Structure 1
Amino acid sequence: MIGSIPAGNLIFSAALLFTGLLPSKTIRFMEQMNISTISTNTFFQHQKYYLHPSICSVWKTFQEKYFQRMKEKDKSLVLGGDGRADTPGHSAKYGSYAMLDLDLVLVVHVELVQSNEVKSSYHMEKEGLVRSVDFIKSQGLKIKEIVTDRHVQIVKYVREEMPNSVHHFDVWHVVKGLKKKLLALSKEKECERLMAWIKSLCNHMYWSAASTPSGNGQLMLEKWESVINHVQNIHEHDGDIYTECAHGPLEESARKKKWLQPGSKVAERLADIVTSKQMIKDVPKLSPGPQTASLEGFHSVINHFAPKMIGFSFHGMYSRIVLAALHFNENAMRDQATTKDGTKRFDVVFPKYKKGEYSVRKIKVDCTYEYIGQLMDVAVTLAEEKPMNSSVLDLEDVPPPLASAYEKPEKQVAIQEKISRYANVIESDLYDSVDEPSCSNA
């Protein structure tokens, strides 16, 4: 026994949640194997009184140690921020926002926002950022630099409320929008030749940012706009800073792509895209260094602990996001795996988005799960100290349910209305079929 609870029952519930499994499927699996186990109601009781508080406790301990270490170093933070909705589109119920220390590759804070806490689900990402920034500032730390996507509300907030922080855009998010426009243009008549240049144009945007470590926005923009001349075999430019291409002499015999003809439709349309108002605003803010790719990886980890096709309570969703953060922080910087003779291991894969082109990726060592041991220790300690149904819960406040804003009818009245409405429809259809003559009678 652990306190008043059978030890196996509590450990089963803890292992189920801490490893990211779903209770209904796991318990159904046990039942089909004819293995006696707890009910789903028992699991949710364990989760409410012991497992959720254990997760919050371990996460709070991690944050306290991290912030204390940053204070001792007197270091301003370089953070990446990104949001995730629990379902696609504008019907999402939950929006989570994560802050990642880009120097240490650690998720340092997560916020969970329910859609009825803001105007609509579109506003959840900004609210998550605001709460995260307020929390980090409350710890006595300064944000030196923040890297995000191009969410317009976030851009405005950082510009107005964080004047002492440098705001950069993640290059991948800008390139993703650019590629869509280039692909659409390449499908137009007389623009087919652009298809061969799309990959190079996307790479050029990455290079424009990465080759400018000083973060000089004007230089980035001139480097980016130089591509208009380059694709037309013109390698001297009218910029104030960047006046000629950085590459050496090009051997025409070794070239596979054909130059775009000056004055052609495709060249002019490409120039419109490259020099659009959106690009002029975004390119100078590209991040020359840290990117938010690791946050995309973190979102993949969340999908393991909290799949988007499953609905969770507020505490259930928050706990699973924190579990994902603990797992990510322990395993994000794993070493590369090696063979017995010490050779580093790689894998060749064919991502769907590359349409037949391959990528070479590092194979890393297996994940570790030391955080689960910490969670288990805290859960057992809580069970020993507090009886079930204890009123003392160390959990965050829960926003009201989405349905609380609507008037709920009496259940029996609603059922009767549905039954009578359905009966009237059937009766109406029956009379219509009797009154209308059939083809044979006509």
Structure 2
Amino acid sequence: NLQKITRRDGRCDSPGFSPKYCTYSVMNQADNRITDFELVQVTQTGTSQSMEKRGFCKTFDRLLKVKTVVTDRHVGIKSVIKKVYQQQGVNQQFDVYHISNSFRKKLIELSKQNIVNHVWFSSRNCDAEKKKWLKGATLLAVKEVVFDPSLLRDIRQISQFCHTGKLESYHSALLVYCPKRQKFDYPCMLARTQLAVMQYNANVGRQQATVKKMKAEGKQLPQVERPAGKNIAKAPAPPKEELIKKHVDRFKML
């Protein structure tokens, strides 16, 4: 049960904001195998937002020693690690994808301002002056995104470049056994998740199947010459200049 770095993430059983189950999975980063999971029902917590936090605490307490945990930026998990598990020497790392995706959305939202019309306006009214048309407000807007206190605080926790990409692959495999468009009771959901874990762990490390290039066998078929259609002339058309000359010579003879 000694694991240094574990990836952890929750997966709800239905899209939207009212799921019934949350499957919280733990993956060992050393071998990319699922080592533990907790199936949390919404009746155990009262709210769907608290299911992921409960799953984290349940799976964490079952392991003897964990050095680093890789999670998303869940507020409840951040709080319980800071209050309880950080005193035990546990280091929390955030998924790089969640940090970069949040930063990307803010930059895209900032870039949606209408600057194309301003380019036309500047081209018409600049009078060839060597003057910067961007004012300090634009730079300040970018600084607000880059120097956001929450970003600066959380960016310290991506120093080990950890991400949960392999765990998302497991969630894709889990869809085969637990599709989100169907409802199951708790024992059935638990059994299906166990099957998904066994199937995923059994296929970890397998090379991807490839199709070998087949060698051509047999003789090459003869090429059949097909005759041209009736609407296609057998002889090439004469030059245009020659036709015009013959047409003009007819009138000269008269």
**Shared fold per TM-score greater than 0.5:** yes
Write the deviation string for residues 12-68 of structure 1: whole angstroms up to 9, x where unpaired.
xxxxxxxxxxxxxxxxxxxxxxxxxxxxxxxxxxxxxxxxxxxxxxxxxxxxxxx4x
**1:181–1:191: structure 2 CA closer, same or farther, 3 Å change rule?**
farther
Aligned equivalent of 1:280: 152
User: Which of 166, 175, 189 does residue 303 from structure 1 map onto?
Assistant: 175
Aligned equivalent of 2:226: none
**1:130–1:158: structure 2 CA closer, same or farther, 3 Å change rule?**
same
Write the deviation string for residues 303-343 of structure 1: whole angstroms up to 9, x where unpaired.
111110100010111111111111111223222445648xx
Structure 1, gaps ≥5 residues long? 1-66, 68-74, 194-259, 342-442
Aligned equivalent of 2:18: 91
Write the deviation string for residues 198-253 of structure 1: whole angstroms up to 9, x where unpaired.
xxxxxxxxxxxxxxxxxxxxxxxxxxxxxxxxxxxxxxxxxxxxxxxxxxxxxxxx
Residue 294 (structure 1) aligned with residue 217 (structure 2):
no
User: Which of 49, 57, 60 does residue 133 from structure 1 map onto?
Assistant: 60
Aligned equivalent of 1:77: 4
Aligned equivalent of 1:185: 110
User: Which of 135, 140, 143 does residue 66 from structure 2 map onto?
Assistant: 143
SS in 1 for 2:183: coil
Distance in 1 (CA, whole Å) between partners of 2:5 and 2:160 is 13
SS in 1 for 2:101: helix
Please give the TM-score of this superposition, normalised by the length of structure 2.
0.72
Structure 2, gaps ≥5 residues long? 119-131, 214-254
Shift of 1:148: 0.2
Please give the TM-score of this superposition, normalised by the length of structure 1.
0.42
Moved beyond 6 Å, runs of 4+: none
- How many residue pairs get aligned? The number is 198
**1:152–1:192: structure 2 CA closer, same or farther, 3 Å change rule?**
farther
Matched AA of 2:170? F
Distance in 2 (CA, whole Å) between partners of 1:296 and 1:158 is 23
Aligned equivalent of 1:109: 36
Aligned equivalent of 1:315: 187
**1:128–1:266: structure 2 CA closer, same or farther, 3 Å change rule?**
same
Distance in 1 (CA, whole Å) between partners of 2:14 and 2:68 is 30
> Would you tell me which structure has more strand in proportion to its own residues?
2
CA RMSD of aligned residues (A): 2.3
Distance in 2 (CA, whole Å) between partners of 1:89 and 1:188 is 30
SS in 1 for 2:10: strand
Aligned equivalent of 1:398: none
Higher-Rg structure is: 2
Distance in 2 (CA, whole Å) between partners of 1:262 and 1:146 is 44
Distance in 1 (CA, whole Å) between partners of 2:181 and 2:3 is 39
Is the 8 Å Cα contact of residues 6 and 26 (structure 2) preserved in structure 1? yes
Is the 8 Å Cα contact of residues 102 and 290 (structure 1) preserved in structure 2? no
User: Which of 136, 159, 177 does residue 82 from structure 2 map onto?
Assistant: 159
Is the 8 Å Cα contact of residues 7 and 164 (structure 2) preserved in structure 1? yes
1:385-404 equivalent positions in 2, closer than 5 A: none
> Would you tell me which structure has more helix in proportion to its own residues?
1
Matched AA of 1:295? L
1:228-243 equivalent positions in 2, closer than 5 A: none
Distance in 1 (CA, whole Å) between partners of 2:188 and 2:211 is 40
Matched AA of 2:43? N
